[in-house]
Amino acid sequence: MVTQRASEVEHRLARLAGRQHGVVTVEQLQALGINAATARQRARRGRLHRMHRGVYAVGHSRLSNEGRWMAAVLACGPGAAISHRSAAELWRLLTPRPHTVHVIVAGNSGRRQRPGIRLHRTATLTQPETTRRLGILVTMPARTLADLRDCATADELSRAHRQAEFFGYKVNLPNPKPIERSRNELERRFLRLCARRRLPRPEVNVRVLGYEVDFLWSHRCLIVETDGWEAHRGRTTFEHDRRRAAQLAAAGYEVLRFSWHQVTDHPQEVAAALRSRLISPLNTDLPADPAR
């Protein structure tokens, strides 16, 4: 009978840990009939691993990102939610990386800071601003992007907004300033891409057939425009772009367009497209692409 009960406890513990990405709280252990003394004994035997005060990993301490986030939320108590940079990672707006987990709580609850957790207290967090993703309480994308401004770089903010748009999250927030000033920044990034990939440096912001183009390789009749979709919305702009493209093509120019996302996130593809047009048997003095 004792063995059967112990087996049932183990089964229930495994199911609970499975639902919570491998972590459980002391209170949950007690609800399963595992008291403090037994928990300490399990920890000594390597069956439980202390992640935070009152929170254990079951079986091993090599937690996934979801396990780290869940452990931090459980450590901070009821109502705590993943926020800021960590929430952006959970929503796939930014790439996860090992660092302090950001957690937000409503009000000034007096909860103490814990090692490995950056606790944010706020009086403005409301229930509709949080939800569960993968079983973890987290701030909604709109709140996440608003909070992210306090702890992210300009590049990270731009990336997060682009990803939110890609996934179709309803954020209802204006784009941050880094995106509004994207043209100059994007041009600088494109020039750095050319330099790093050892491509010929183009002429910048020159006029061709009365139109100003972003980049020109005149010896190849190649034009590159770097811009975001915001720059080409509206029927008037649409018609102007088509007329311009037709005139440039009639004059023998090839026009390539690259977006912010392509230049910043897929530089190897941009470089490959350029290299195929800038190198020919008549132009063999250019070195091979070091990234290929």
What residues does each domain of the chain span? 10-58, 74-175, 182-278
**What pLDDT does residue 157 have?**
85
Paired residues of 270 in beta bridges: none
Conformational region of residue 77, where left means phi above 0, alpha means psi within -120 to 50, and beta covers everything else: left
3-state DSSP call for residue 285?
coil
**What pLDDT does residue 2 have?**
52
What is the average per-residue pLDDT within 108-130? 80
What is the average per-residue pLDDT within 7-16? 89
Q: Look at residue 137 and tell me whether its pLDDT is greater than 50.
A: yes
Please give the CATH topology (third level) of the domain spanning 182-278: Endonuclease; Chain A (3.40.960)
Q: Look at residue 76 and tell me whether its pLDDT is greater than 80.
A: yes
Distance, in Å, from the CA atom of 173 to the CA atom of 7, rounded to the nearest integer, reads 51
The answer to whether 89 touches 146, Cβ cutoff 8 Å, is no
Q: Which residues of 170-194 are buried (b: 16+ CB within 10 A; e: fewer)?
A: ebeeebbebbeebeebbbebbbebb
pTM of the model: 0.59
Contacts of 150 (CB under 8 A, 6+ apart): 84
Of residues 167 and 236, the one with the higher pLDDT is: 167
Going by their DSSP bridges, the two strands 101-106 and 117-122 should be labelled as: parallel
Q: Look at residue 12 and tell me whether its pLDDT is greater than 50.
A: yes
**What pLDDT does residue 101 have?**
94
